[in-house]
Amino acid sequence: MKLKKRAAALVMALTLCMAAGATVNAATVSTSEFGTMTYSLSRSGATVTAVTKTTKAAPKLITKLEVQVNSTGKTIVNTSATKTNATNNTIIKATNYTSTKLAAFSTHEARGTSSVARYMAEVF
């Protein structure tokens, strides 16, 4: 009985997080050249978002996003964006899939004299 209550509480908490559009996967890394780089991968309804931010402007800030239907591996989004002398690079893609489980993969990179790259993967 306790297991059922815990499972129900977990399902409710996850449902509330998804309904609120909470970021599912986010992290930070400190660098001397770019300051703190924050990167995230999230889903809200039919929209998947990949964000790369730095506290100091990066000569090149690159964000890449690939989204697949989790059950088939069919790619539905494959895109990238590069900004120069930027502190924020966001990719927001509507997928037309609101109740289908999706797999999302992102790359977050800041380039200058040095470079830092981070990768994320999430099943939503």
24 and 85 Cβ atoms separated by less than 8 Å: no
| DSSP 8-state secondary structure symbol assigned to residue 61 | E
Distance CA 79, CA 37 (A): 21
Identify which of 20-24, 31-35, 44-48, 96-100 has the greatest average pLDDT: 31-35
Full-model pTM: 0.78
**Does residue 11 carry a pLDDT above 50?**
no
| pLDDT tens per residue, range 81-113 | 999 999 999 999 988 888 899 999 999 999 999
For residue 2, what are the contacts with CB-CB under 8 A and spacing of at least 6? none
**Does residue 2 carry a pLDDT above 90?**
no
40 bridge partner residues: 26, 51
Domains and CATH numbers, the chain: 23-123 (2.60.40)
User: CB-side exposure of 61: number of CA atoms within 13 Å?
Assistant: 24
